[in-house]
Structure 1
Amino acid sequence: MKFNPKNPSWANRDRFVLSNGHGCMLQYAVLHLFGYDLSIDDLRNFRQLGSKTPGHPEAHDTPGVEVTTGPLGQGFANAVGLAMAEAHVAARFNKPGYTLFDNYTYCFFGDGCAMEGVASEAASQAGHLQLGKLIAIYDDNHISIDGDTNCAFTEDVMKRFDAYGWHCLHVEKGDEDLEAMEKAIAEAKAVTDKPTVIKLTTTIGYGSKLQGTGGVHGNPLKADDAKSVKAKFGFNPEESFAVPQEVYDLYGKTAAAGAAAEEEWNKLFAAYKKEFPTEAAELERRLAGLLPEGWEKALPVYKTSDPAIASRKLSETVLGNLYSVLPELVGGSADLTGSNLTRAKIAEDFQPESTGLGTYGGRYIRYGVREHAMGAIMNGLAAYGGIVPFGGTFLNFVSYAAGAVRLSALSQVPVIWVATHDSIGLGEDGPTHQPIETLAHFRATPNCMVWRPADGNEVSACYYVALTSKHTPSIIALSRQNLPQLVGSTIENGIKGGYVLEEKPGADITLVSTGSEVGIAVDAATELKEKHNITARVVSMPCCEVFDAQSKEYKLSVLPDNIPTLSVEALSTLGWERYAHETFGLNRFGASGPYKEVYEKFEFTPAGISKRALATINFWKDVKPLRSPVNRAFEHII
């Protein structure tokens, strides 16, 4: 591998992913030996509070760790994303005589990863994409937590990978045959039109009394066994955390070679800048994570006289406008392009040229029906640098990728989910496709922005915040049905996460809502005034997480004391108690039928909201003073 421990972020370094992340102590030890910023004391503090060596690899904690792994299969899919990113930036920036990007992505995975569906999805995608610079090493030791894999996992993994279109190799004596390992990696590098998997047959706990058994999988060796292993391999059994200087020197030669390789790359890039100044400036900007000056002018602005438009269609307009402005925007859909509306008209597909379907320079990814792999691959694309990934599916099926979404948030990578068909408003597809609990789930995920815009200006606001947030993923929930352009809606208001859409002096109630229900709440406020002489103010809350980040003074101006608040959202009510005294939503599954009839059935109508608003006012009328739910003994965010 080529890498420079003194600059772990060198753009053309080889990437290494430990998908079976429970083996991370070995990775930490190797990083230390090569001279990354990990000391012997850091190794001693393995799994201790505040250390650089957590129980599974975390990209933002440990220098040299590329992606956060641990949930099995995720790292494998991340590696596919890293390899896709290399193929794309190489196609975009390499010029004759100037090979800026040609790094390899290496991934270690075990039986657990091979069993997880997300790895299978990603492996299938990688085979189709012919990712020749992806090399995966399968630690074939026949042991998982339950013991010998014969109890649950007896398939021929290599036949599966062969069917996916991978080049398959086998090193039979993986405990000791270093020559065969090196030969296999050399052969893998020689195959340029397929990813390679190397089956490395090993013995778990090799050299210990427990070798080949599940007993060594998750437990440290006993003291006598540890001494025995050290003696067997020529170490002083009485020493711990001791490294001979000659070992540091040997590892240092590789580190020095990596530093020299980066220096040569820097010289190459300096010459490249003179010959291709436009491309060089774009590359520097993208690697720095900066957006081009004035990019936000491409975000559309709407007037109330503009027609009602589905927010998925509004999202399509944003993506189309940004396509030529933000070349780092790379994404696709999980086989729902015509429903998610994620493909710009001038987009080219990301495909191997041999397929005749596109090129690696293309920016639209056909993920197929692989939501979970798409989410994990996006994490890899984002981790590579210089790419802002987005992916589309129905909101309900983002749940298929919940493991990847959680790791996006934990890894602090700004991926964007274009999640259409966001409610019972999708109608005829029925309860199997209508999300109910989905937003509550992802709103409960730390460091994850969940957006549900009500009109065109709020859609533009969603994308503005998603694209300017450097360490937080976004899920943008978008409607199938048309939504009106609302009075009081602006991009400037939307980027606050929640704002007063309609302010009314002396209001009797606040209606707070999201997405397609905001327009209905506005109509309910009119009905309350005309039929009941009740004054209602209306608040739109496109993103609770962003609203939570505002000052307490601002939040109380939006959801003030002494006015009862009713939330309205055609999804689970869970979580709305933080903002409203009463909640109107769905705590059951939906129904199949034309969307207007479904809304009528569950009373998400002006009349249905008005009925509940009157009940809310009556219930809370004798509570004096009435405190806003925003007022709390302490902030709920730690």
Structure 2
Amino acid sequence: ALAEGAKIEQEWNAKFKSYKRKHRELAALWEDISRGKLPKGWDKGLPKFKPSDGKIATRAASGKFLNAVADKLPHLIGGSADLAPSNNTEIKGAPFFDRKKAGRNIHFGVREHAMGAAINGMALTNMLIPYCATFLIFTDYLRPASRLSALMGTHCVYVMTHDSIGLGEDGPTHQPIEHLASYRAMPNMTLIRPADANETVEAWKVALRHKGGPVMLALSRQGLPVIDRKVCSPASGVAKGGYVLRDTKGRPDVILISSGSEVSLCLDAAEALLKRNVKARVVSMASMELFEAQPVEYRRSVLPPSVTKRIAVEAAATFGWEKYVGLEGRVMGIDTFGESAPAGDIYR
């Protein structure tokens, strides 16, 4: 068997050498992919968003990113558990995979566990970067496969939309509460909850570059304001997990820490506090896992130990935020099930 395998490999190498002479660019792309490298220039021309664009759901920004990189990353493949229009995971113009033809778009059907198992298998080829999608609430059915993904260290991307009570009228059966905390507790799972459209682009960049484990993106159903980066720090801070989004002059009186859709609420709160002569620093904590991987000096620069008045805000279970607010801080979250009402009414 070893001799036969060596012979087949030698024949394949000879064929590839011939192919490489005729198709240099395609051969170079194959070599990059087989080595786990992203093609040169893949991150050029990515979508950029401005406050004047109005509110944009992070799930919509995710879809724009996918379609912007699809041509440059032919090994990026995936789909949704029968929710592609809601998850924004369809690669436009690409065929759908079925029994008769190959394709980059996959109809996984309403079978979240099997969907997760399938992309694990794809990732184990070390040639494909697979993604799958559903509502965050339905990770309850996906969990065994996603846990194996974390255990095996596969390069999978989980696109989980409708990430909070902000999904509105579907009510408590569809509103995730404990799900963010549970995935943050899972070893080797990196969860990123971007605050706006530009943070979503940066989150995807992290997910595609990440090695040694899966990345889960928690995305909003509802439109979120595009943060003014002329006033606030660049969205590239997402790569460090948590970063100072907006600061004050001198030592802050209080630090407001948040993720996802609640970050813009913290920015509004900081403005209101300033009118009362209270200086508030706003920290976007898009990913606790990425933040914890940073040097202690960086983490202390974002959350100075000398500033003990801290408030964490997230429309989900409060579990896990205590380590950032300390004994003198507070966590504003939801430790009950949600309600069925328009998102704006629920937040009030």
Q: What TM-score do the two structures reach when normalised by structure 2?
A: 0.94
Q: Tell me how far apart the structure 2 counterparts of residues 557 and 306 of structure 1 sit (CA, whole Å).
A: 32
CA contact (8 A) 1:388 1:415 kept: yes
Q: Tell me how far apart the structure 1 counterparts of residues 305 and 23 of structure 2 sit (CA, whole Å).
A: 60
CA contact (8 A) 1:465 1:495 kept: yes
- Is 1:266 matched up with 2:13? yes
Q: Tell me how far apart the structure 2 counterparts of residues 503 and 300 of structure 1 sit (CA, whole Å).
A: 26
Taking structure 1 as reference, are residues 489 and 400 closer, same or farther at Cα in structure 2, changes over 3 Å only? farther
Once the two structures are TM-superposed, the CA of residue 492 in structure 1 deviates from its matched residue by 2.2
- Is 1:499 matched up with 2:246? no
* Structure 2 counterpart SS, 1:440: helix
What's 2:199 paired with? 458
Once the two structures are TM-superposed, the CA of residue 294 in structure 1 deviates from its matched residue by 1.5
| Residue correspondence of structure 1 range 18-29 to structure 2 within 5 A | none
What's 2:234 paired with? 490
What's 2:347 paired with? 599
* Structure 1 counterpart SS, 2:140: helix
Q: Tell me how far apart the structure 2 counterparts of residues 544 and 428 of structure 1 sit (CA, whole Å).
A: 29
Q: Deviations over 1:366-421 (max 9, x none)?
A: 10001111111101000012110011100111221111111111111110011000
What's 1:587 paired with? 335
| Residue correspondence of structure 1 range 98-177 to structure 2 within 5 A | none
- Is 1:562 matched up with 2:306? yes
Letter in 2 for 1:542: A
Letter in 2 for 1:292: P
CA contact (8 A) 1:457 1:489 kept: no
Quote the RMSD (CA, aligned, Å). Answer: 1.3
| Residue correspondence of structure 1 range 65-104 to structure 2 within 5 A | none
- Is 1:540 matched up with 2:284? yes
Q: Deviations over 1:178-223 (max 9, x none)?
A: xxxxxxxxxxxxxxxxxxxxxxxxxxxxxxxxxxxxxxxxxxxxxx
- Is 1:442 matched up with 2:190? no
Q: Tell me how far apart the structure 2 counterparts of residues 566 and 509 of structure 1 sit (CA, whole Å).
A: 8
CA contact (8 A) 1:298 1:325 kept: no
Letter in 2 for 1:335: D
What's 1:336 paired with? 83
In the alignment, which of 394, 418, 421 is matched to residue 135 of structure 2? 394
Q: Which structure has the larger Rg?
A: 1
Q: Tell me how far apart the structure 1 counterparts of residues 315 and 223 of structure 2 sit (CA, whole Å).
A: 16
Q: Tell me how far apart the structure 2 counterparts of residues 435 and 299 of structure 1 sit (CA, whole Å).
A: 30
Once the two structures are TM-superposed, the CA of residue 586 in structure 1 deviates from its matched residue by 0.7
- Gaps (5+ residues) in structure 2? none
Q: Deviations over 1:60-83 (max 9, x none)?
A: xxxxxxxxxxxxxxxxxxxxxxxx
Q: Tell me how far apart the structure 2 counterparts of residues 380 and 537 of structure 1 sit (CA, whole Å).
A: 44
- Gaps (5+ residues) in structure 1? 1-253, 354-358, 601-638
CA contact (8 A) 1:457 1:491 kept: yes
Q: Deviations over 1:86-112 (max 9, x none)?
A: xxxxxxxxxxxxxxxxxxxxxxxxxxx
Q: What TM-score do the two structures reach when normalised by structure 1?
A: 0.52
- Is 1:306 matched up with 2:47? no
* Structure 2 counterpart SS, 1:296: coil
Q: Tell me how far apart the structure 1 counterparts of residues 43 and 24 of structure 2 sit (CA, whole Å).
A: 24
- Is 1:321 matched up with 2:65? no
Q: Tell me how far apart the structure 1 counterparts of residues 42 and 93 of structure 2 sit (CA, whole Å).
A: 18
What's 1:527 paired with? 272
Q: Tell me how far apart the structure 1 counterparts of residues 284 and 23 of structure 2 sit (CA, whole Å).
A: 47
In the alignment, which of 406, 410, 421 is matched to residue 147 of structure 2? 406
What's 2:323 paired with? 578
Q: Tell me how far apart the structure 1 counterparts of residues 151 and 214 of structure 2 sit (CA, whole Å).
A: 10
CA contact (8 A) 2:256 2:266 kept: yes
In the alignment, which of 454, 475, 480 is matched to residue 221 of structure 2? 480
Q: Tell me how far apart the structure 2 counterparts of residues 522 and 379 of structure 1 sit (CA, whole Å).
A: 39
CA contact (8 A) 1:416 1:466 kept: yes
Letter in 1 for 2:265: I
Higher relative contact order (CA 8 A, sep 6+): 2
- Is 1:289 matched up with 2:36? yes
CA contact (8 A) 1:559 1:565 kept: no
Q: Tell me how far apart the structure 2 counterparts of residues 266 and 520 of structure 1 sit (CA, whole Å).
A: 57
Once the two structures are TM-superposed, the CA of residue 268 in structure 1 deviates from its matched residue by 1.9
- Is 1:384 matched up with 2:91? no
Once the two structures are TM-superposed, the CA of residue 489 in structure 1 deviates from its matched residue by 4.5
Q: Tell me how far apart the structure 2 counterparts of residues 506 and 265 of structure 1 sit (CA, whole Å).
A: 64
Q: Tell me how far apart the structure 1 counterparts of residues 27 and 252 of structure 2 sit (CA, whole Å).
A: 57
Letter in 1 for 2:107: R
Once the two structures are TM-superposed, the CA of residue 306 in structure 1 deviates from its matched residue by 3.1
What's 1:71 paired with? none
> Larger deviation: 280-289 or 318-327?
280-289
Q: Tell me how far apart the structure 1 counterparts of residues 94 and 133 of structure 2 sit (CA, whole Å).
A: 15
* Structure 1 counterpart SS, 2:169: helix
Q: Tell me how far apart the structure 1 counterparts of residues 80 and 157 of structure 2 sit (CA, whole Å).
A: 12
CA contact (8 A) 2:91 2:104 kept: no
Letter in 2 for 1:263: Q
Q: Deviations over 1:216-272 (max 9, x none)?
A: xxxxxxxxxxxxxxxxxxxxxxxxxxxxxxxxxxxxxx2221122211221222222
* Structure 1 counterpart SS, 2:97: coil
* Structure 2 counterpart SS, 1:516: helix
Q: Tell me how far apart the structure 2 counterparts of residues 309 and 262 of structure 1 sit (CA, whole Å).
A: 50
In the alignment, which of 228, 231, 255 is matched to residue 510 of structure 1? 255
